[in-house]
Amino acid sequence: MIERLDRHLRSGWPVLVLLCAIVPLLWMAISGAIRSGLFGLSVPPNTNQVGSFLTFIGATLGAVATLCAALLTSGHNARERQRLRLETVLRSLALLPEGAKKSRLAGILSTMVLLGQERIALRVLQPAWDGGLVDDGTATWLIGQVLAGNRPRNGTDSDQVDDEARNEAAVLLVDRAGRLADLETGRYYFPGHFMRTWRTKKEVPAQAKLDLLHAMAEMLASRERDWWSPSGDLPEWPTSVLLECVRRDRDPKVKAAAAVLLDALRECFPDQFSRRGHEVDDIQALAAAARTAAALPAVHFSLAERIKVGWRRAMVVNN
């Protein structure tokens, strides 16, 4: 509710300013006219009264026109600054060597996202990522920028976060999550914001959150327990982010999906989970309630089961 109100205020602030300027001036004009007897029925207004009233009205209209022109100029200047920034970035990209296709494309996609053209960027990203023209690090960074709603405020309509683009970005991540943990380098890639924290300044749509949790589960299931935990310790990511989701997210389905995944990790690291003081009972209760009510898509339960079975099998083999 607060976010929606803030969005409306930012997009409609010129009208609000005009109203705040016009209403007091009109009130002053009408009050002055009534007190001076200009609208009196018994005695008609004299020439001086009418002249003073018309002068005040004329000055008021002139001030309003000046303010309106200033607001229009401000909006035009904001759009012009945005255009100049875009031209500057594109000219810089044109200076890259002819063979630097990946660098050019990464720069262009980043520019599109930061200037509020997320849908176009995602349309280009999908085939480019599959074709190897965009690496996993760049792709997940772009998706993270879209999901977190990071864009500059220019006082224009493009300041508004595109929730449809955020949902689309989350689906794109899910479809490629199984390959984001690199066996050769031992590195994994995920939208950077959600490697540090779960909450965002601008609320992420519930479906996009579920897809993010789905992507996490796909990544965990794509590699063995030893890959994620060479030392045998409970992996910090995504455990810390999932715990924050269970504690702080307001959507019951999202909390349940995070609890199901956490419960799978708990069964694979029972001693460490309890020793670290995590809310084991609450997590188990949420996961059990989700299974009983079938409140989530089946894929969340099947992935959690894959993690439990695969990782626990690895524990038996290692022991």
One digit per residue, the tens of pLDDT, for the chain of length 319 reads 444 545 444 555 556 666 676 667 666 666 666 666 655 555 566 666 666 666 767 777 777 777 677 767 776 677 777 777 777 766 766 665 666 788 888 888 888 888 788 998 999 999 999 999 999 999 999 999 999 887 655 544 455 788 999 999 999 999 999 999 988 888 999 998 898 899 888 889 999 999 999 999 999 999 999 999 888 888 889 999 999 999 899 999 999 999 999 999 988 888 877 665 556 777 888 888 887 777 789 999 999 999 998 887 765 555 5
C-alpha distances out from residue 50 to 27, 45, 46, 86, Å:
17, 7, 6, 54
- CB < 8 Å & 24+ apart, contacts of 151-154: 151/113, 151/114, 151/115, 151/116, 152/114, 152/115, 153/10, 154/78, 154/79, 154/81, 154/82
Could you please report the per-residue DSSP string of 96-161? S-TT-HHHHHHHHHHHHHHTT-HHHHHHHHHHHHHTTSS-HHHHHHHHHHHHHT-----SSGGGS-
Under 8 Å between Cβ of 53 and 29: yes
Under 8 Å between Cβ of 38 and 53: yes
Instruction: For residues 176 and 192, give the distance between their C-alpha atoms in angstroms, rounded to a whole number.
Output: 16
Q: Which secondary structure element, helix H or strand E, spans residue 199, and what is its range?
A: none
What are residue 188's phi and psi, to 5 degrees?
-130, 155
Which pLDDT score, from 0 to 100, does residue 1 have?
45
Residue 265, judged by CB atoms within 10 A of its CB (0-12, 13-18, 19+), counts as buried
What are residue 222's phi and psi, to 5 degrees?
-80, -15
Q: How many beta carbons lie within 10 A of that of residue 58, not counting itself? A: 10
Instruction: For residues 94 and 88, give the distance between their C-alpha atoms in angstroms, rounded to a whole number.
Output: 10
What is the identity of the amino acid at 191?
A: P
